A and B are shown apart, each in its own frame.
Chain A
Amino acid sequence: MAIPVIPSQLTLEIVTPDHALTHADVDEVEIPAEGGYIGVLPGHTPLLTSLQIGEMWYRKGGERFYLAVAYGFAEIQPDHVVVLAQVAERAEDIDVARAEAARRRAESRLSKPPADHDTARARLALMKSLIRLQVSAKARTRV
């Protein structure tokens, strides 16, 4: 086997069931992998991981782009990153009011649960809304 050449950039693809969100050449990616956040630079060893609910970002030159992702997988190759997520939203696309409402709803459900209640689901909803808020806040500070 030849000595692998380390590529200078990563091709990042972020795909949701509805559409291909991003297809870009980037310098660095960080994703919320199963075992915690991992940073990916060009030349990363091939890795297939499931995703947690969390925030991811990618860096293009000096600029960072943030996204909220949930439920999915990432396939990493030395020159290629494919993120398959059921939910992926760019920071600037996040509806802050909706995320805020979702957070409040989830919190109230967790604090005084109704009878037929699904705690796990409410907790997931809360996590998703918190991540969305966190990501959108980052987008605002950057601009």
Chain B
Amino acid sequence: MPSLIDIRRRIRAVKSTQQITKAMKMVAASKLRRSQERVVGARPFANQMLRVLNSLATRVEQKTHPLLDPRETKRAGGKVMLIVVTGDRGLCGSFNSNVIKQAGGFVVGDPDREVALGLVGRKGRDFFARRGFEVLYQQVNLFGKLRYEDAQDVAQSAIESFVGGQVDAIYLVYNEFKSVMQQRVVLERLLPIAKLVAEADENEVEAEIDYLYEPGPQQIFDTLLPRHVEVQIYRALLESNAAFFAAQMAAMDAATKNAAEMIDTLTLNMNKVRQAAITREIIEVVSGAQEQ
């Protein structure tokens, strides 16, 4: 049986851990709120962009643009790039490992296909770089102060690899922020961009508007496409960031609860030990008195 003093020390240690996890939970919660706002704030831009792209799609020759070139279907067993978005830090439950698992499954999923990686976030970088995968791009410490320019940077390198012919397709895997309690790992194709179809039904009226274009529709379309890639990456980064804090908050909440539970059992234990010690002392006193 551990001594009273050991148990006391243990309780103190767990209590201070609990304080830390509680503080981390609070911090994550407030950061979550801010990053959640940013996710919502980024939506109008993405939506408007998509709307303009769709309305342009009918008027331009889509095949001509390199970002739309569906090379993957032509060459079997070509090389593809997978951009893995993880967090920079741990202590967030299964947030990082879920993405890494999905990415790993993708890499070994098809033996005919070669996969090069683009890594955003320290945890994914550490995991894959250490295991000798081919890495085309990596970026860490992005999430502390996430800016649109960071997404542009990622998009730029992705576009370069794609247009340069090093890879035939680019996929993106990240944690989507579904709700505070739920994150979902999403794998989507970034390039080539899926063929855009002009929306039908209710928006038909809008599609009929004949715009003037300055410069021509083709040029606008061509400059919009890289933007579209940037926006998609930016959205993925924001989602991942919000999901990270949600996961961290949940993990720290669970840790705080576990600590409380542990303190309860330890306290019970301590009281038992104390009680036993008192009983023993009384027996000693009583038996001592009897002897006299």
Interface residues of A (CB under 8 A from B): 13, 15-20, 33-35, 45-50, 73, 75, 77, 82, 84, 86
B178 to chain A, nearest CB (A): 22
Known contacts A18-B38, A20-B41, A20-B44: A47-B220 contact under CB 8 Å: no
Give chain A residues whose Cβ lies under 8 Å from the Cβ of B49: 84
Nearest 6 pairs of A and B residues by beta carbon: A19-B41, A49-B214, A20-B44, A46-B211, A47-B212, A17-B148
Pick the contact of B148 from A46, A48, A77, A86 — CB < 8 Å?
A86
Indicate the member of A18, A77, A82 with the most B CB atoms within 10 Å: A18
A93 to chain B, nearest CB (A): 15
- The complex places the Cα of A13 from the Cα of B51 at a distance, in Å, of 14
Interface residues of B (CB under 8 A from A): 38, 41-42, 44-45, 48-49, 52, 56, 148, 151, 209-215, 217, 219-220, 223-224, 230-231, 234
Interface of A is mostly: strand
Give chain B residues whose Cβ lies under 8 Å from the Cβ of A16: 45, 148
Pick the contact of A35 from B151, B214, B220, B223 — CB < 8 Å?
B214
Pick the contact of B52 from A17, A18, A48, A86 — CB < 8 Å?
A48
Pick the contact of B214 from A19, A50, A77, A86 — CB < 8 Å?
A50
- The complex places the Cα of A112 from the Cα of B220 at a distance, in Å, of 35
Known contacts A17-B148, A17-B234, A46-B211: A75-B42 contact under CB 8 Å: no
Give chain B residues whose Cβ lies under 8 Å from the Cβ of A15: 44-45, 48
Interface contact B210-A46, CB-CB below 8 Å:
yes
Give chain A residues whose Cβ lies under 8 Å from the Cβ of B231: 17
Interface contact A82-B48, CB-CB below 8 Å:
yes
Query: Nearest A residue to B230 by beta-carbon distance?
Result: A17
Pick the contact of A49 from B44, B45, B48, B213 — CB < 8 Å?
B213
Give chain A residues whose Cβ lies under 8 Å from the Cβ of B45: 15-18, 20, 84
- The complex places the Cα of A15 from the Cα of B41 at a distance, in Å, of 9
Interface contact A34-B48, CB-CB below 8 Å:
no
Give chain A residues whose Cβ lies under 8 Å from the Cβ of B224: 73
Query: Nearest A residue to B151 by beta-carbon distance?
Result: A17
Interface contact B42-A18, CB-CB below 8 Å:
yes
Interface contact B52-A84, CB-CB below 8 Å:
yes
Pick the contact of A33 from B42, B56, B148, B214 — CB < 8 Å?
B214
- The complex places the Cα of A15 from the Cα of B51 at a distance, in Å, of 13
Interface contact B211-A47, CB-CB below 8 Å:
yes
